[in-house]
Amino acid sequence: MTATTPEIPNFEPALLGAEVSAQAPGVTIHTEKLEGQQRRILASTQIPATADQVWQVLTDYNNLSSFIPNLSHSQRLSHPNGGIRLEQIGSQCFLNIKFCARVVLDMVEAFPKELRFTMVEGDFRQFEGKWTLEPVKDAAGEAVCLGYDLVIRPPRAMPVALIERHIRNDLSRNLQAISDRTLVLFGA
């Protein structure tokens, strides 16, 4: 199914079936119910840095787990066609039970505008999307609107509302962590 929602960062909050929230200051998250258990989650934030600086943080694949909350493992793997393949494991505690989810993603870099990912193996039935970087001018100078667009379908045994809620909460912290990491590395 092809979603008709405009792409980040210029998405509209008044979408049919969309839920809007701001989880952290400066982070906006929208959720759209698609077919069945499929969900589309859109998030964005502004980072006072250049697109190149934010890009360097996003593509530091082997070090993402050192600063992204609940990402316990991130490692680049060999790709059969010479592309970029990444294994990631997220972990969280739900009701005193540790839950881990693994994905192997093929990444397609379109520097400095877009970083697409598609799951080739993992614990979800569908996990694909993209990061987008759009330079903007703000009162303080140069900034980047970092967007995240994810289409996800959890395994049948997992309650979609629970997975959606945790992904939304994680995304808020993840975008803040990327912003913080960029500022630490580049002093923007």
**Domain-embedded: residue 4:** no
Residue 143, number of CB atoms within 10 A of its CB: 21
Q: Say which CATH number the domain at 150 has.
A: 3.30.530.20
Any idea of the CA torsion for 137, 56, 102, 76, to the nearest 10 degrees? 160
Strands 126-138 and 141-153: antiparallel
User: Burial, 90: exposed, middle or buried (Cβ in 10 Å; 0-12, 13-18, 19+)?
Assistant: buried
What are 161's two structure tokens? 């509302």
C-alpha to C-alpha distance for 100 and 130, rounded to whole angstroms: 22
Of 9-23, 34-48, 50-64, 127-141, which gets the smallest average pLDDT? Answer: 9-23
C-alpha to C-alpha distance for 22 and 30, rounded to whole angstroms: 9
**Domain-embedded: residue 172:** yes
Higher per-residue confidence, 112 vs 6: 112
**Domain-embedded: residue 73:** no
- Dmax (CA) for the chain in angstroms is 48
Strands 114-122 and 126-138: antiparallel
Q: How many domains does the chain have?
A: 1
**Domain-embedded: residue 10:** no
C-alpha to C-alpha distance for 91 and 185, rounded to whole angstroms: 26
Q: How confident is the model at residue 166 (pLDDT cuts 50, 70, 90)?
A: confident
This prediction's pTM: 0.84
Of 25-29, 93-97, 125-129, 151-155, which gets the smallest average pLDDT? Answer: 93-97
**How confident is the model over 102-126, as pLDDT tens digits?**
999 999 999 999 999 999 999 999 9
**Domain-embedded: residue 137:** yes
**Domain-embedded: residue 81:** no
Look up the domain containing 59 and give its range: 21-68+107-186
What are 144's two structure tokens? 């980047």
**Domain-embedded: residue 2:** no
Closest CA to 181 of 54, 51, 28: 54
**Domain-embedded: residue 113:** yes
